[in-house]
Structure 1
Amino acid sequence: MAGKPTIDDVARIAQVSRQTVSNVVNSPEIVRPETRARVEDAIGQLGYRPHASARRLRSQKSSTIGIRLAAMGDGISGSVLDRFLHALTEGAYARGMRVLLFTADDDAGEIEQIERLRDDRDADAFVLTSTSHSDLRTRWLLDQGIPFVTFGRPWAADDMGDPMHHWVDVDGRAGLRAAAEHLIATGARRVAYLGWPSPSATGDDRRRGWADAMSSRGASESELASLSIEAEEDVTAARVAVAEFLDRRPDVDAIATASDSLALGALIATTALGRTDVAITGFDNTPVAAAVGLTSVEQRLGMVADGVLELLMGVSGRDISMREPRPGEAHRLVTPELVVRGSGGGERPVPVVDPM
Structure 2
Amino acid sequence: MNRAATIEDVAREAGVSRQTVSNVLNAPDVVRAQTRERVQAAIDLLGYSPHVAARRLRTRRSSTIGVHLDPYAGGISGVVLDRFVHALTERAGERGLRVALYAARTPEEEIRRMADLRDGAEVDAIVITGTFAGDPRTRWLLDHRVPFVSFGRPWGEDDYAEPAHLWVDVDGAAGTEQATRHAVASAGPRVGFLGWPEGSGTGDDRETGWRRSLPRGADAVRLVAPESVATAREVVADALAHHDLDALVCASDSLAVGAHLAAVTSGRTDLEVIGFDNTPAAEALGLSSVEQRPEDVASGALDLLMGAGSVIAPRAAEPGGAHVLVEPRLVVR
**What is the TM-score when the length of structure 2 is the normalising length?**
0.92
Contact 2:104 2:110 in 1 (8 A): yes
Which of 306, 310, 328 pairs up with 1:336? 328
CA RMSD of aligned residues (A): 2.2
Deviation at 1:3, TM superposition (A): 6.6
Candidates 245, 248, 253, aligned match of 2:239: 245
Q: What residue in structure 1 maps to residue 62 of structure 2? A: 62
Alpha-carbon deviations, 1:26-62, whole Å to 9, x = none?
A: 2222233344445556656766544322221221222
- Which residue of structure 2 lines up, in the alignment, with residue 279 of structure 1? 272
Change (3 A) 1:281 1:62: same
Q: Higher mean Cα deviation, 163-172 or 307-316?
A: 307-316
Instruction: State how far apart, in whole Å, the 2-side matches of 1:198 and 1:242 are.
Output: 18
* Residue 15 to residue 240, structure 1, CA distance change in 2 (3 Å): farther
After TM superposition, the structure 1 stretch with the greater mean CA deviation from structure 2, 56-65 or 332-341, is: 56-65
- Structure 1 distance, partners of 2:96, 2:72, is 29
Aligned-pair CA distance for 1:104: 1.7
Q: What is the count of residue pairs matched by the alignment?
A: 333
Once the two structures are superposed, what CA deviation does each residue of 1:211-240 show, in whole Å capped at 9, x if it has no partner? 1111xx2136xx32xx11111011111111
- Judged with a 3 Å threshold, the aligned counterparts in structure 2 of structure 1 residues 178 and 114 are, in CA distance, closer, same or farther, namely same
The 3 A distance-change label for structure 1 pair 42 and 238 is: farther
Shift of 1:336: 1.0
Counterpart of 2:229 (choices 214, 228, 235) is 235
Q: Does the 8 A contact of 1:76 with 1:261 survive in 2?
A: yes
Aligned to 1:351: none
Give yes or no for contact 1:168–1:307 (8 Å, CA) kept in 2: yes
Decide whether the 8 Å contact of 2:315 with 2:321 is kept in 1.
no
SS of the equivalent of 2:241 reads helix
For residue 271 of structure 1, give the secondary structure of its aligned residue in structure 2.
helix
| Separation of aligned partners in 2, 1:248 and 1:262 | 19
Q: Does 1:140 align with 2:152?
A: no
Q: Which residue of 1 aligns with 2:51?
A: 51
For residues 304-333 of structure 1, what are the alpha-carbon distances to aligned partners after superposition, in whole Å with 9 as ceiling and x for unaligned? 11111121222222x222243111111111
Which of 195, 215, 218 is matched with 2:216 structurally?
A: 218
2:314 aligned residue: 322
Q: SS state of the match for residue 105, structure 2?
A: coil
Normalising by the residue count of structure 1, what TM-score does the alignment of the two structures yield?
0.86
Deviations 1:254-278 (A, max 9, x none): 1111111111111111111221101
SS in structure 2 opposite 1:213?
coil
Residue 89 of structure 1: aligned partner: 89
Gap regions ≥5 residues in structure 2? none
Counterparts of 1:49 and 1:158, CA distance in 2: 45
Matched, 1:149 2:149: yes
Shift of 1:122: 1.8
Preserved contact between residue 304 and residue 322 of structure 2 (Cα < 8 Å): yes
Which amino acid is 2:240 matched to?
L
Q: Tell me which moved more, 304-313 or 46-55.
A: 46-55
Q: Report the CA distance between 1:116 and its aligned residue.
A: 1.6
Aligned to 1:348: none
Deviates more, 1:154-163 or 1:324-333: 154-163
Report the equivalent of 1:354: none
Return the offset for 1:69: 1.4
Q: Distance in 2 between matches of 1:262 and 1:288?
A: 11
State the distance in 1 between where 2:247 and 2:140 align.
44
Distance verdict in 2 for CA 1:212–1:5, change over 3 Å: farther
Tell me, in whole angstroms, the C-alpha distance in 1 between the residues paired with 2:2 and 2:287: 53
Structure 1 residues 266 and 70, CA gap change in structure 2 (3 angstroms): same
What amino acid is the match of 1:228? R
- How far has the Cα of 1:17 moved from its partner? 4.6
Q: How many Å separate the matches in 1 of 2:181 and 2:248?
A: 12
The reply to whether residue 291 of structure 1 matches residue 296 of structure 2 is no
Tell me the amino acid that sits aligned with residue 160 of structure 2. Answer: M
Distance 1:311 1:152 in 2: 13
